[in-house]
């Protein structure tokens, strides 16, 4: 191609360029090492000596001119491509959002996890026993003897003469002591069953049993642990109080109260004016129960407690009917989103 043809063709071709691909082809044709401009440069060897300088200058001018045309076109093509991308990626921020609802943990699961967290921090391990128990584990070896009136405290669902739905998580104590030697420090969470149903009772509910067996375990250990527990679950200001009670498997037995976290102890509707709320039962493991599991009661002592998980959830969240925790009403459950 002569300089003249390059000048005219180049301009005409560039006018037709619309995208990056065509622009690249143009570059290859004119500006690359094998392109037309380079070919002109090569032609210098055929030019008479005295014209070489002028020829060289002329080719250089053409080169600069083509390069400038190319650069200007490139800018234009790039800008067009960018605008096209912006157009394609435009988001209509006024469109209604598609809601995907995330689920959340059931309040009972939250409470159970919170309780486990507190006691795991004190070194407790988790043990789970069966929901169908026999008389031996649920009653007899826990010192609830055959004709003992305390059997009536728990309205048992009997399955056969010997098998029943466990009425509490305390049989877990027997199962652990049968297989482990002291020191023992376990939590036994699980569902329990009693023929009982009203605003604060349900035929199925959940408990968390605690058992510690070691040398020199006393009621002070029980109170110290439970004090930490109520502080973690209710408030740093919460206090605990032990009241004497009765369970066949603990001696002495206590009911544990927490200072009312609603009124701080002054007296309100939640604590029925007393300033205290009952949260759980516990005590020092009855020597007879240790002996029933072949643990030397002259060397070891134990503490045990049983926490009603629904009761804690109702107190903590201000729920007035236990049934609410089992109805699976989504609107109710949604309130407990963390
Ligand atoms: N098992 C008892 C109940 O269900 C609670 C309890 C557990 C009491 C451990 C003392 C020790 O009522």
Return the structure tokens found at 202: 């349900």
Mean pLDDT, range 78-104, rounded to an integer:
89
Question: Mean of the pLDDT values across residues 116-124?
Answer: 96
Predicted pLDDT at 272: 87
Confirm or reject: Cβ of 139 under 6 Å from ligand 1: no
CB-based contacts of 157, cutoff 8 Å, min separation 6? 164, 165, 193, 194, 195, 203
Residue 307: predicted pLDDT: 96
Of the pLDDT bands very low, low, confident and very high (cuts 50, 70, 90), residue 277 is: confident
Say if ligand 1 is within 6 A of residue 281 CB.
Answer: yes
| Cα torsion 52, 53, 58, 64: sign | positive
- pTM of the model as a whole: 0.71
Nearest-angstrom CA–CA distance, 169 and 190: 7
- Report the C-alpha gap between 136 and 145 in whole angstroms: 9
CA distance 281 to 284: 11
Beta strand pairing call for 163-165 and 250-259: unpaired
Q: With a cut of 70, say whether residue 289 has pLDDT above it.
A: yes
Q: Which residue in the block uniquely carries the two structure tokens 């309100």? A: 268
Q: What is the CA radius of gyration of the chain?
A: 42
**H helices within the chain, ranges in order?**
3-16, 20-30, 36-42, 52-89, 107-120, 135-138, 171-179, 219-233, 287-292, 309-317, 330-333
Query: Which of 108-112, 113-117, 139-143, 146-150 has the weakest average pLDDT?
Result: 146-150
Other beta carbons less than 10 A from residue 220's beta carbon:
9
In this predicted structure, the answer to whether residue 152 has a pLDDT above a threshold of 80 is no
Residue 338 has pLDDT above 80, yes or no: no
Q: What is the pLDDT of residue 261?
A: 80
Q: How far is the CA of 77 from the centre of ligand 1 (A)?
A: 81
Chain segment 1-30, per-residue pLDDT in tens = 888 888 888 888 888 999 999 999 999 999
Give 209 Cα–ligand 1 centroid separation in angstroms.
7
Residue 50: which residues within 8 A CB-CB, separation 6 or more?
none
The answer, yes or no, to whether residue 273 has pLDDT greater than 80, is yes
Tell me which DSSP letter residue 198 carries: B
- Taking the CB of residue 231, how many other CB atoms lie within 10 A of it? 16
pLDDT given at position 8:
86
Rounded to an integer, the average pLDDT of 257-274 is 86
- Residue 227, pLDDT > 90, answer yes
- Mean pLDDT, residues 102-120 taken together: 94
| Tokens of residue 321, six digits | 């009917």
Nearest residue (CA) to ligand 1, atom 10: 282
Distance 270 CA to ligand 1 centre (A): 23
**pLDDT for 134:** 96
Domains of the chain, by residue range, sit at 3-88, 107-333
Confidence of residue 153 (pLDDT cuts 50, 70, 90): low
Distance 283 CA to ligand 1 centre (A): 8
Sorting pLDDT into bands at 50, 70 and 90, what band is 264? confident
As a whole number, the mean pLDDT across the chain is 92
- Is any ligand 1 atom within 6 A of the Cβ of residue 190? no
**Contact 306 CB / ligand 1 (< 6 Å):** yes
pLDDT at 226 exceeding the cut of 90: yes
Q: Report, as an integer, the average pLDDT of 262-286.
A: 89
Does residue 318 have a pLDDT over 90?
no
Distance between CA atoms of residues 85 and 311, nearest Å: 60
Q: Is a pLDDT exceeding 70 seen at residue 144?
A: yes
Q: Over range 144-152, report the average pLDDT.
A: 80
Q: What is the pLDDT of residues 175-196, one digit of tens each?
A: 999 999 999 999 999 999 998 8
107-333 is a CATH 3.40.50.2300 domain? no
């Amino acid at each position: 191609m002569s300089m003249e043809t390059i000048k005219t063709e180049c301009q005409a071709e560039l006018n037709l360029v619309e995208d990056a691909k065509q622009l690249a082809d143009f570059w290859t044709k004119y500006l690359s090492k094998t392109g037309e401009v380079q070919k002109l440069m090569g032609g210098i060897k055929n030019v008479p000596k005295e014209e070489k300088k002028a020829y060289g200058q002329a080719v250089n001018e053409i080169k600069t001119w083509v390069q400038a045309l190319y650069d200007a076109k490139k800018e234009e093509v790039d800008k067009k491509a960018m605008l096209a991308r912006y157009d394609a990626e435009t988001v209509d921020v006024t469109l209604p959002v598609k809601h995907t609802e995330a689920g959340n943990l059931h309040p009972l699961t939250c409470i159970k996890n919170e309780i486990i967290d507190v006691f795991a921090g004190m070194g407790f391990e988790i043990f789970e026993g069966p929901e169908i128990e026999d008389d031996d584990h649920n009653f007899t070896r826990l010192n609830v003897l055959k004709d003992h009136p305390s059997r009536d405290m728990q309205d048992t669902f009997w399955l056969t003469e010997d098998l029943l739905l466990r009425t509490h998580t305390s049989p877990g104590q027997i199962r652990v002591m049968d297989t482990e030697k002291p020191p023992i420090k376990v939590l036994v969470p699980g569902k329990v069953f009693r023929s009982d149903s009203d605003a604060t009772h349900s035929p199925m509910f959940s408990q968390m049993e605690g058992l510690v067996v070691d040398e020199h375990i006393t009621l002070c250990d029980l109170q110290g642990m439970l004090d930490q527990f109520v502080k973690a679950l209710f408030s740093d200001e919460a206090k605990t109080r032990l009241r004497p009670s009765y369970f066949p498997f603990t001696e002495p037995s206590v009911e544990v109260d927490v200072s009312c976290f609603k009124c701080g102890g002054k007296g309100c509707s939640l604590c029925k004016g007393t300033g205290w709320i009952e949260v759980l039962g516990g005590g020092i493991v009855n020597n007879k129960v240790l002996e029933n599991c072949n643990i030397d009661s002259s060397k070891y002592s134990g503490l045990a407690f049983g926490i009603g998980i629904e009761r804690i959830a109702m107190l903590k969240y201000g729920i007035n009917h236990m049934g609410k925790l089992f109805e699976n009403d989504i609107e109710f459950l949604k309130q407990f989103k963390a």
